[in-house]
Amino acid sequence: MRKLPIYQVDAFASQVFQGNPAAVVPLDFWLKESQLQQIAAENNLSETAFFVRQENGKYHIRWFTPTNEVDLCGHATLAAAFVIYEFLEHYTDIIEFTSQAGTLKVRVRNERYILDFPKREPHAIGKDKLVEKALGVEALSMALSRDLIVEVANQKLVETCEPDFQALAQLKEYFAIVVTAKAEPQSGIDFVSRFFAPQQGINEDPVTGSSFCSLAPFWQKNFQKDHLAAIQLSERTGRVELAIKDRRVEIAGFARLYMKGDIFIPEVY
């Protein structure tokens, strides 16, 4: 049997049991894709991050849900950066990853982890009645990038949304569906959101860093400002701070260690 280290980190959280839990498995070399998927399925978290350190000091990172590999994941990247910075031999406050989505940098400032991610500008589309029916809400607008962004009239509609996940899973043209609205006045927050991705094996994700690659430019136009604060209103909740810069979005939050241990898998031949 091969022993591998594993960490479970609550990302976008100032204390454990908040934010979004991610598993992180550092590797010396890549396992077979089928084994990566089996480990992620066994962990049964929204994402498991795997990375291998390269000769140039960068880390190649991949992310798996319980059912498939994804092209970009924010909270598991934050969790991986936390593990590298806190537990591995990394001596700078900048951690650089290579990935399917290109180069991703994470800066550490006063315990905050600041993700430098690609901006994914959504484009407006007509309202999809099947989406509205599956969500049980009426949309003010819809916009599409990787995720379908569904804007609704107020924060209460986001909080009380009870999707029909079987119906959402049939809408195969959308990777995931995000419901969002302006936050309540005087809350200190600009907007709120929730993230649903039953096709990816995740009915509702607690805090979805990659969704803010699209939500940030969507709300930037609405508020006419480049710095935004948001809360993802899952049961666990998580707050993020956003800065939009040219073609990039900075997504900042804290992380807390929940678990550190070992896993045992069959030897790779």
Radius of gyration of the chain (CA): 18
Tokens of 143: 């916009």
Tokens of 11: 């990302």
Active site residues: 47
8-state DSSP, 269:
-
Closest to 85 measured CA to CA, from 73, 76, 77, 94: 94
Tokens of 211: 């969704």
Tokens of 253: 């939050």
Indicate the SS3 state at residue 26. Answer: strand
Q: 34 CB contacts (<8 Å, ≥6 apart)?
A: none
Could you read off the pLDDT of 163-174 as tens digits, one per residue? 999 999 999 999
Beta strands in 54-154 (DSSP E): 59-64, 69-70, 94-99, 102-109, 112-118, 123-125, 141-144, 148-151
Tokens of 218: 């969507």
Give the model's pLDDT for residue 167.
96
Beta strands in 102-207 (DSSP E): 102-109, 112-118, 123-125, 141-144, 148-151, 177-182, 191-197, 202-205
What's the rounded Cα separation, in Å, for the pair 107 and 110?
10
Could you read off the pLDDT of 15-40 as tens digits, one per residue? 999 999 999 999 999 999 999 999 99
Could you read off the pLDDT of 140-189 as tens digits, one per residue? 999 999 999 999 999 999 999 999 999 999 999 999 999 999 999 989 99
- The answer to whether 178 touches 144, Cβ cutoff 8 Å, is no
What's the rounded Cα separation, in Å, for the pair 158 and 172?
22
Indicate the SS3 state at residue 246. Answer: coil
Q: Show the CA angle centred on residue 73, arms to residues 70 and 76, nearest 5°.
A: 120
Q: What topology does CATH give the domain 2-119+253-265? A: Diaminopimelate Epimerase; Chain A, domain 1 (3.10.310)
Q: Which residue spans of the chain are classified as CATH 3.10.310.10? A: 2-119+253-265, 123-235
Tokens of 35: 């084994």
Could you read off the pLDDT of 192-205 as tens digits, one per residue? 999 999 988 889 99
Average pLDDT rounded to a whole number, residues 194-218: 94
What's the rounded Cα separation, in Å, for the pair 220 and 244?
8
Pick the CATH number of 123-235 from 3.40.1440.10, 3.10.310.10, 3.30.2010.10, 3.40.50.300: 3.10.310.10
pTM: 0.90
Give the model's pLDDT for residue 268.
57
